[in-house]
Chain A
Amino acid sequence: MDFRDSGGFYMKTNNWFLKGLTKLGRTEKFPSEKFEAKSQVNEKVKSEKFMPFNKSLHLYSIDSGACGACNMELQAISTPHYDMNRLGLFFTNTPRHADALIILGVHSERMVEVLEKAYNAMPKPKLIISLGDCALSGGLIGECPEISGKSVVNIPGCPPNPYAILEGIIKAKEVSSK
């Protein structure tokens, strides 16, 4: 019987969500031994800021001109292998609820205003993280967004590995709290 038959729906006994729940945890331990941290703290911004992010950190990302690879790797930190939530990190759907603005991609004229408006809409205290070579320096494509000069932490890579992203975000949180 097809699910489209008789204009209705065909539903078998469905326990797929229970199957999912009974599977063992798939999240990995952070590979500290073989992981080489590459994120860099922006000392100038660090000395100016003091932000009490001791517990959770809510993230809002803006694509200023990325190829999509950084977007995919950033999104990957919420998936089972990495599970950002266990570390107190959460994505939010609006800058009004965000503690940190993550910038992806190169400078593009029409995104300048979007970035500024989003940053201004964020409640204080707030911080910026630049993710990927394009947001840091423009990479091979162009120039970096001007606002990325205010980044607390820069996460290099084209694109950075999800572990590198997690390490960089945690570093931004720790640096801001000191």
Chain B
Amino acid sequence: MVLASPPADDGASALQRMLGDNVITTTLEKMWNWARSWSFWPLSYGCNCCPIEMMAAGGARFDIARFGYEVFRAVPRQADLLVVAGPITLKMAPVVKRVYEQMPSPKWVLAMGNCATSGGPFRDGYSILPGADSLFKVDIYVPGCPPRPEALFHGLLELKRRVERGEY
């Protein structure tokens, strides 16, 4: 009795041959990361000048919706990107920390402006934290006082690149 000969190639290429160009095979994580990177839902935190630039970024001229990041949330449970656009005072620190902890994973933090990256001009003051990274891990720093919308986009696209590659 002659046994049927084993397939000459492995399962993956057999599948590829069968499906042709009609179906893309990938891992779920890759697909999720691709989707995440094109649709950050930012939670905004700010004081004055940086949020104005952030609002300009959301407006028609700069148009943050080109990248799919326009869904600014006021609720941490619906957001996955915390944009810290202002200094964090000692009194505000526990609130920001709690808001960060309420965001579902995976989540990212973008420090916008000098105050959020390092404390800025208030760094040596009596009531300001020296940067958002003294509270939680910050993924992207966007310096500037305030940074222009283009700079914010640069930071967001840098974050997009990382998320797409799964480097977070």
A and B are interacting partners: no
